[in-house]
Structure 1
């Protein structure tokens, strides 16, 4: 069987794996954004307790590899609590928590990059802190953070390959399964690499265009 036929026969399975990869990335980044906003705001809070909670979360997540976090959520927690957790749920949770810590730093840096006079001006107009943050500060900060957020999307997309270790049939795992049946590693891994490259290149182009417009 020639290389073209091998790739053609493997394409449906690889595309199915790519769909799972994109789904995991989008879901995880959605929750990571929520975590990022919450812990980013806590990290700039004047309340020492709230700030400490944010710092502990960020330091623990950033200080441990994603693969260890995935193993802990998928194996350790169910074993300790005598419960079952699905692989995709565990993968999404691990990726969300992991990306959330980095998103928190992106939001913190984005907010602190704005002139302090923005908040002071909003408060002088009678806006409470929460409204000043949501109506004045965050919209400006998010515009500046957009390239960094897209970059995190790219990182999370590549990180989904790590989740194959807990049995999620994403793109990398799909490639491994196909190779186990036909032993054509060059053609399959080459196709997998091209699929990752195309998506990541498109996201990089979007990121660069947004960065120029900021």
Structure 2
């Protein structure tokens, strides 16, 4: 990449005006910026999906009730598990992703002699960070569902896991869908911190371009527009998904079965023998 930048530097002259420099950067480095944007989207989307799965698992475990009738072993195990999950959530919600990236990427090599690849480290960091935030969102979504539905599910013989997967979570998912979309938008922007571990995403590519000609303002202007296009596009898509999940504004009663008709099917005999 350095040789490529040097060859362009030697063979091209940088325009003096602002828009001329923008066009020059797009002509010579547009491919690198698009490739960086593609990496940004891939990491953000995959990290958000895996993070949502982690969040749902943690949220379900955190919502498992412990009653006085439960055995002592279950009480102890659940207390330990919930304590570990609480520490995980608090640590990753209370520290910046940039610090987490450097701690995990470099710390794993120093402490455990684990040399992660750039892709694995990027997916892992974004996923566990998103999972910490999503776990609290899922827990709040579960608590937003009326307790009567959980009691009704248990009354017909469902276990806690069955009541969660078949009754509670489908409704909670609709309630927390805006937050899932918000996490995706945040991840698209926050992947820029992964440049500290050598991830060649959009911000890393922008820094490389800007450092070649010292066009920091022009290069970052292009990056800002590219980030804005990506976030606005996915915001619109997620709003369409939310609207689809809400269903139609009104619901008509299905009356294919004659027993479901609300009127006109029941007749009463009058005193004269006619129908009323």
Indicate the TM-score class for this superposition, using the shorter chain for normalisation.
over 0.9
Q: Which residue in the other structure is 1:193 paired with?
A: 224
Aligned-pair distance for 1:144? 1.1
The residue correspondences of 1:71-90 to structure 2 (distance < 5 A) are 71-90=102-121
Compare 161-170 and 184-193 and name the one that shifted more: 184-193
Separation of aligned partners in 2, 1:80 and 1:69: 15
Aligned-pair distance for 1:210? 4.9
Alignment deviations for residues 17-36 of structure 1 (CA, whole Å, 9 cap, x no partner): 00110111122112111210
The residue correspondences of 1:150-165 to structure 2 (distance < 5 A) are 150-165=181-196
Considering fraction of residues, name the structure with more helix.
Answer: 1
Alignment deviations for residues 44-75 of structure 1 (CA, whole Å, 9 cap, x no partner): 22332332222111011111111111011111
Separation of aligned partners in 2, 1:39 and 1:80: 27
Aligned partner of 1:17 among 36, 43, 50: 36
Separation of aligned partners in 2, 1:53 and 1:40: 13
Aligned partner of 1:51 among 73, 78, 82: 82
Q: Which residue in the other structure is 1:171 paired with?
A: 202
Separation of aligned partners in 2, 1:153 and 1:69: 18
| Structure 2 spans left out of the alignment, 5+ residues | 1-14, 66-77, 247-276
8 Å contact kept, 2:64–2:160: no
For the pair shown, which has the larger CA radius of gyration, 1 or 2? 2
8 Å contact kept, 2:33–2:202: yes
- Structure 1 length as normaliser, TM-score? 0.93
Match of 2:109, SS state, is: helix
Aligned partner of 1:101 among 132, 145, 156: 132
Q: Which residue in the other structure is 2:73 paired with?
A: none
Alignment deviations for residues 139-188 of structure 1 (CA, whole Å, 9 cap, x no partner): 11111111110001111111100001111100000001111222222221
- Structure 2 length as normaliser, TM-score? 0.73
Compare 199-208 and 68-77 and name the one that shifted more: 199-208
Aligned partner of 1:5 among 3, 24, 41: 24
How many residues align? The count is 214
8 Å contact kept, 1:161–1:173: yes
Compare 75-84 and 163-172 and name the one that shifted more: 75-84
Separation of aligned partners in 2, 1:172 and 1:189: 8
